[in-house]
Amino acid sequence: MKKIVVVGLSGGVDSSVSALILKKKGYQVIGLFMNNWEDENEDSCNAWKMDKTDAMLVAQKLNIPFQGIEMKKEYKKYVINYMFNEYKLGKTPNPDILCNKKIKFNFFLKKAIGLGADFIATGHYVKKTTILKNKKIIYRLLIGKDTNKDQSYFLCQLNQYQLKKSLFPLGSLTKNQVRKIAEKNGLHNAYKKESQGLCFVGKIRLPQFLKKKILPKKGKIICIDSNSLKYKFNNKSFSSKEEELFFLSKKKSIKNQMEK
């Protein structure tokens, strides 16, 4: 019996070629389009509708089942609200990492499993390998062939189960190769412009976006000399290099900074 793979079809060339490759490898492929964000902005609304249309056309071309799923509530709760809260605390979050951890490889994965899938697949430029450690299979996430498109950093928080259930068909390809494969196989979006900006939201002007929930306020920019005593740790010992680096990068409160 063929293994079932649900591909997150975004309407872009990367996920489209991922679906194409998996079908050629003999998998039973299902395309799922995630609608996670819809702004009141007309351009935003039109953008996701066009992406969904592109995804449907690809599914039709590949002759695979296709459906759209709504995950706006989950996305708002676990990504958008998190981002606003972090900025309110004066931090600089990376919503794309959380989007992958909580949305694509969590809620989306669960929906795929519910459809009977053995795996999910995305168009990320990363590789997955396994090693045997203490008689246990360990899944490893590695940099993809195209170092200009490598996205392993954005998947850094995936756990072993999420990696086990995920396939990354583009890990050994470059972006140019992916476009050529799409063109050769008659995919209409072979040279579609890449999406940029915030995961599922797109290209935004961050200050204006944040002002929707956070009132601007004046703050102080404090520069600390690299020779400051706050960085001195004399004979402090560390159990690992990681612990030492964490100590050196640890943030101090503004009050402590001012005291130095």
| Catalytically annotated residues | 99, 199
Go through 86-112 and write b for each residue having 16 or more CB atoms within 10 A of its CB, e for each that does not.
ebeeeeeeebbbbbbbbbbbbbbbebb
Kindly state the tokens that stand for 148.
């200009």
Strands 136-143 and 166-167: unpaired
Q: What is the DSSP letter of 205?
A: -
Of 38, 10, 26, 42, give the one whose Cα is nearest residue 196.
10
Kindly state the tokens that stand for 27.
């998998």
Residue 4 · residue 28 · CB < 8 Å: yes
Alpha helices in 25-98 (DSSP H): 42-62, 72-75, 81-88, 95-98
3-state class (DSSP) for residue 233: coil
